[in-house]
Amino acid sequence: MATELLGWWGVPLGIVAGTLRGSVPFLLVSLGECLTEKSGKINLGLEGTLLMGAMSAYAISYLSSGLVGPALAPWLGVLAAGAAGMMLGAIHGWLSQQPRVNDVAVGIAMIIFGSGLANFLGKPFIQPQAPQLPTLSLGGWSDLPQVQSALLISPLFLLGVAIVPLMSWFFKSTRWGLYVRAVGDSPDAAKAMGISIFGVRMASIVAGSFLAGIGGASLSLFYPGVWTERISSGQGLMAVALVIFARWQPWQCLWASLLFGGAQSLGPAFQSVGIDSYYYLFNAAPYILTLVIMIITCSPKRTLAGAPGGLGQDS
């Protein structure tokens, strides 16, 4: 239908629609990871957090819709997703700060544990339909239903966009933002200032995991809007690479998330106009893009501009 009316215009429209939908989890997870990495720890486990968030949001939205009505239920789901994220974040934050424990290895363990737990607890929720989050329509000016449906925006996207300037201001102008940056850039100096490294990192990881959990909620309650065991497909891990690409700047996380969301919609958009011979390779576009970006931006000679000084060093 859409392609018959719009012809080749379906491709850019599909990419815009896919960007607006697909960038939401990237944006929230990358902001969470940005906060975590600013404090000097890497959390690869956000992939598991994303799945756990998606499952909790869907399950709570489904279970509570009878009690509080289908309007409020998805918002309870979002809160539950954030809480589930914080729980996993607390495990990661505590374990990755033990002596001689590698935060990358803990991240992989948390991916296995988080996705296992999500699939275990989420088994009964694969079939039923949970109430979804409302959407805001920005396409009212157009008569074409395709344009209208393409410009439906999730409130979680707006939430993510609102967090971007807040987080930027937090890092630049607040005392706590300075603490986080000090712990991440120079743990010794932070210790001399009397800041608790453990406490600041713990808080950053838990808060970052909260955002990643909400990113999971956007997967199951907005787009694609279902709960399946393979819903995250590596997006949580790609968000980690995205933060490197964004040079640990919240504003650049926003642009990078839009770029990744767009790259992800290439495959379906080309398929909609009949080009499906390279469907799977187009689907791999975000991964190839991440790799190419890392090859271009990294260098063995110098540390990356903007990288927290203490990142990846064992405590």
Partner 1 sequence: MASMTTWRRSLEAVALPVGAVLVAFVIFGIFCALAGANPLAVYGSIYKAAFGSWSAWQNTLIRAAPLMLTALCTALPARLGLVIIGNEGALVMGGLAAVLTGLALGPSLPGGLALVAMALASLVAGGLWIMLAGALRHYRGVNETISSLLLNYIAIALMNQLVQGPLRDPAFVSKPSSYEIVETAWLGTLPATRIHWGLIYGLVASALAYILIQRTTFGFAARTAGGNVRAARIAGLPVGKLTLAVCFLAGSCAGLAGMVEVAAVQKRLNESIVSSYGYAGILVAFVARHNPLATVLVSVMLGGILAAGGILQRSHNLPDATVLVFQGIVFLCVLYSDSLYGRLPIFQERSERPGSAVAAS
Q: Which parts of this chain interact with partner 1 (CB under 8 A)?
A: 44, 91, 95, 98-102, 104-106, 108-120, 123, 229, 234, 237-238, 240-241, 244, 277-281, 283-284, 287-288, 290-291, 294-295, 298-301
Cβ 91 to partner 1 shortest distance, Å: 7
Closer residue to partner 1, CB minimum distance, 255 or 287 = 287
Among the residues of the chain, which ranges form H helices? 2-6, 10-38, 46-68, 73-95, 103-122, 145-150, 155-173, 175-185, 187-192, 197-221, 235-245, 250-264, 266-272, 279-283, 285-297
Cβ 4 to partner 1 shortest distance, Å: 25
Q: Which residue has the tokens 């630049």?
A: 172
Report residue 153: phi and psi, to 5°. -115, 140
Cβ 174 to partner 1 shortest distance, Å: 30
Cα–Cα distance, 225 to 217 (Å, whole number): 9
List the beta bridge partners of residue 136: 153
Closer residue to partner 1, CB minimum distance, 95 or 226 = 95
Closer residue to partner 1, CB minimum distance, 131 or 261 = 261
Q: Is the peptide bond before 70 cis (omega within 30 degrees of 0)?
A: no
Cβ 115 to partner 1 shortest distance, Å: 7
Cα–Cα distance, 307 to 297 (Å, whole number): 12
Amino acid in the structure at residue 73: A
> Which residues fall within 8 angstroms of residue 115, CB to CB, at 6 or more apart?
47, 48, 51, 52, 229, 232
Closer residue to partner 1, CB minimum distance, 9 or 113 = 113
> Which residues fall within 8 angstroms of residue 65, CB to CB, at 6 or more apart?
73, 130, 131
Closer residue to partner 1, CB minimum distance, 73 or 91 = 91
Structure tokens at 48: 């598991």
Cβ 243 to partner 1 shortest distance, Å: 10
Cβ 157 to partner 1 shortest distance, Å: 24
Cβ 148 to partner 1 shortest distance, Å: 32
Q: Which residue has the tokens 């215009």?
A: 9
Closer residue to partner 1, CB minimum distance, 127 or 299 = 299
Closer residue to partner 1, CB minimum distance, 110 or 151 = 110
Report residue 313: phi and psi, to 5°. -90, 135
